Structure 1
Amino acid sequence: MPRPYVLAETNWKHLKEEQFELAVLPWAATEAHNYHLPYATDIIEGSAIAEESAKIAWEQGAKITVLPTIPFGVNTGQSDIYLDMNLNPSTQFAILKDIIEVLNRQGIHKFIILNSHGGNNWKSIVRELGLLFPKMFICVTHWPLIVDRTEYFDIVGDHADEMETSLILHLAPELVLSKKEWGNGKELKNKIKAFSEGWAWTERPWSKISEDTGVGNPHAATKEKGKKFFKAVCGKMSQLFVDLTEVDIENLYE
């Protein structure tokens, strides 16, 4: 059965009489994830979290639609990793502008980017789009930050780590290579202290900081951990969806 909160599965017979309060756009990336995870890792995670969260919210009466996931993200630091696909921020801005223009014209004035890739950076883009579309409420969420990962995983990493490996073992285990193929996800740190402390920033050239493209040891990952984490993330995300559909944007602050 088509899920009425997933745009790609709905049809005109249903939509011609429908009116949504909130549109959700999962935005991911296509890139290497250590040796053992698929290039679509961020796509699988973002799509599943968006759709499951929307299901929970829909069952509580939230009028919400999940748009098809954007599969490419900013991968400027991985230009020499074979077939890591890149969209420049200026391209992301152009895509978002066109999507928001459609929503704005059709009366859906609440919009959330469900970010599923650490290389995507939305603040400056959202600020500019907000000036172009003053009726639109535009916000961003980054699902890896929703819950405290230390409560679910032994070693918290950054990319293709225990958390992501556990999630894919839960969501798409057939796409994960056997454990003997997993790299250790060792990350080489910048020699300049300011960058490792986090108050100065420069882009990491991925092939120089990781041998296997992973950052964080995945070897303690299990599907059980992934299932538990997925449920916790979707629980909190769905509440955000409900809150956004119910709130009066003109009376948001107290």
Structure 2
Amino acid sequence: MIRPYVLADTNWKHLKDTTFDLAILPWGATEAHNYHLPYSTDVVEGTSVAEESGRIAWEKGAKVIILPTIPFGVNTGQPDIYLDINLNPSTQFAILKDILQVLNRQGIQKFLILNSHGGNNWKSILRELGLIYPEMFLSFTNWFKVVEGKSYFENPGDHADEMETSVMLYLKPELVLPKKEWGTGKQKKNKIQGFNEGWVWTERPWSKISEDTGVGDPSTATIDKGKAFFDDACKKLGQLFYDISMADIENLYE
């Protein structure tokens, strides 16, 4: 069935007489996810979350359009991991500038990046693009932070962990290797304590911090946990899409 809120599904016969208020761009990455998850994990998750959240917003009456997912992200810390594809932030800026030029020219002036990859950082890019397109409302969200993970999962992590493994078991179980193939996701810590406490940052050289490219123990992942987390995140995002779509961007504050 054609979903009119998904650009990849729809057609010119429908679009020539349609207008949208909000464009959503899922942005993922192509990278190793422990031994057991596919390189497309961030793309699968971001696309699925965007489309389900878009459905919820559309059925509420919001005029939203989900753009095709960008499959490559910032992977500057993984240059030696085979076929982890890197886009530099400057490349992301150029891509976004061109996309926003199209949307702005065609009257879609509300825009949201649905981020699906921890290495993508959008604040500086959107600040600069906001000066180029001051009439547009630019925003982003990390879908994996929309609901609190500790309410669903036992083991914290941030890459191919219990959460991501659970979500992929729900969305694409055929792409997840059997449990006997899962790595432990054990992360080596920086010897300088400040970096572990989070108030100072440096690039993590991925092959030095993890033997299996995972960060976080996936061993307790289940389909049911993945479904619950996915559904609750999409419900909250669907409301966000609706709220942005319906908002008067000239009168947002009170």
Shorter-chain-normalised TM-score: which range? over 0.9
How far apart, CA to CA, are the structure 1 residues paired with 2:156 and 2:105?
42
Q: Report the equivalent of 2:38.
A: 38
Question: So what's the TM-score if we normalise by structure 1?
Answer: 1.00
Q: Does 1:64 align with 2:64?
A: yes
The code of the aligned residue for 1:194 comes to G
- DSSP 3-state at the match of 2:140: strand
Segments of structure 2 that go 5 or more residues without pairing to the other structure are none
Deviation string 1:189-222 (CA, Å, 9 cap, x unpaired) is: 1000111111110000000000000000000000
Two-structure CA RMSD over aligned residues (Å)? 0.4
The code of the aligned residue for 1:141 comes to T
The code of the aligned residue for 1:241 comes to F
Q: Does 1:203 align with 2:203?
A: yes
How far apart, CA to CA, are the structure 1 residues paired with 2:111 and 2:236?
17
Question: So what's the TM-score if we normalise by structure 2?
Answer: 1.00
Q: Which moved more, 1:145-154 or 1:29-38?
A: 145-154
Match runs of 1:131-142 below 5 Å: 131-142=131-142
The code of the aligned residue for 1:185 comes to G
The code of the aligned residue for 1:80 comes to D
How far apart, CA to CA, are the structure 1 residues paired with 2:219 and 2:192?
29
Deviation string 1:31-85 (CA, Å, 9 cap, x unpaired) is: 0000000000000000000000000110000000000000000000000000000
Deviation string 1:82-118 (CA, Å, 9 cap, x unpaired) is: 0000000000000000000000000000000000000
**Structure 1 segments of 4+ aligned residues over 2 angstroms from their partners:** none
Q: Does 1:247 align with 2:252?
A: no
Match runs of 1:1-254 below 5 Å: 1-254=1-254
Aligned residues: 254
Q: Displacement of 1:139 after TM fit?
A: 0.1
The code of the aligned residue for 2:43 comes to I
Segments of structure 1 that go 5 or more residues without pairing to the other structure are none
The code of the aligned residue for 1:189 comes to K
The code of the aligned residue for 1:195 comes to F
How far apart, CA to CA, are the structure 1 residues paired with 2:227 and 2:193?
37
How far apart, CA to CA, are the structure 2 residues paired with 1:129 and 1:158?
28
Q: Displacement of 1:179 after TM fit?
A: 0.3
How far apart, CA to CA, are the structure 1 residues paired with 2:194 and 2:176?
36
How far apart, CA to CA, are the structure 1 residues paired with 2:54 and 2:81?
34
Q: Displacement of 1:156 after TM fit?
A: 1.5
Q: Displacement of 1:144 after TM fit?
A: 1.1
How far apart, CA to CA, are the structure 1 residues paired with 2:193 and 2:209?
15
The code of the aligned residue for 1:87 comes to L
How far apart, CA to CA, are the structure 2 residues paired with 1:222 and 1:193?
33
